Chain A
């Protein structure tokens, strides 16, 4: 059974940093591209970042570019999101999501349960 379990969320002050993790199991993690998607309280989904299976390709939304860094450790079946210079508008539930197939344009077929990040003083 495919499982994605996020962790690392919490309360952080503006300007602070946080590192999210996503532990994957039930599939060959190293074969799939992965994403981070966030959802602010009461709002819609916002794509944050993508990383290819071998980390060769990495992309960010303009809203987080230069502040967030996506990475993965295929040996540990884990996906990460390092978030620096956090702002109030980064407050959201952060989901990790797997890309369905080998195409970059495939949908996100499995999602974690999400981890809440709250940026507040």
Chain B
């Protein structure tokens, strides 16, 4: 059971918009810690996609956007493309005794 909760899977047709939620608690996202998002294409290492809740690293298309509110965060992907099919993970810091960095369980995006 991950500290951050993500839906196991989402899907959408090419060109559509999808969102992936990431729900935390008062010891991580709700405590004000930033949320970061990673994309993991099949068989490859994770890649930083969104940092600081809503910022895109250089080279990441503006089709990807992030937001945060309260104890949750969301990743939105517009204009879905076949190459977006991947696993997506949210990450935040947790101030509880048991944790430091925590990841969501991951969401598999399928482009129909």
Chain B residues positioned under 8 Å from A104 (CB to CB): 93
Given A105-B34, A105-B93, A107-B36: A45 and B45 within 8 A (CB)?
no
Residue B64 CB within 8 A of the other chain:
no
Size of chain A's interface in residues, with CB distance under 8 A?
23
Chain A residues positioned under 8 Å from B91 (CB to CB): 45, 107-108
Complex alpha-carbon distance, A111 and B41, angstroms: 13
Does B34 contact A45, Cβ atoms closer than 8 Å? no
Chain B: interface size category: 20 to 34
Complex alpha-carbon distance, A106 and B48, angstroms: 11
Residue of A nearest to B35 (CB): A107
Complex alpha-carbon distance, A61 and B93, angstroms: 12
Given A44-B2, A44-B89, A62-B98: A108 and B48 within 8 A (CB)?
yes
Contact residues of A with B, CB < 8 Å? Answer: 35, 37, 44-47, 50, 59, 61-62, 95, 97, 100, 104-109, 111-114
Contact residues of B with A, CB < 8 Å? Answer: 2, 33-34, 36, 38, 40, 44-48, 51-52, 57, 87, 89, 91, 93, 98-106
